Amino acid sequence: MWIERVDEVRNSPNPEKIKTTIFEGVLSSKLPDEEKTNLRLAHEAQLVVFAGEGTTAYTLQSAVFQLLANPKEFEKVKREILAAILNLDRLL
């Protein structure tokens, strides 16, 4: 999947397409050509995706821990969320 996406971006007839991807940084760098393989680009893309996932998971884990450790704050957040859900027009 990742290698196919790299191929698609690299072989795009639109030269601007590569500028909107993680690949642009590697391909426009001073790295030797043998370091700019599709496999390397796929690894870079995976790193970005999984790094963001881990950070989000850690943040949510920390937030849940803090809420469970502080029942008064948990109740406050719960009331705010329920109020927002009951008044969806305010959210939209």
**Of 15 and 84, the one with more pLDDT:** 84
| pLDDT per residue as tens digits for the range 24-39 | 878 888 889 998 898 8
Give the mean pLDDT of 2-22. Answer: 74
Task: Report d(CA 5, CA 17) in Å as an integer.
Answer: 12
CB 52 within 8 A of CB 46: no
CB 10 within 8 A of CB 18: yes
| pLDDT per residue as tens digits for the range 55-81 | 888 888 889 999 999 899 999 999 998
What pTM did the predictor assign? 0.46
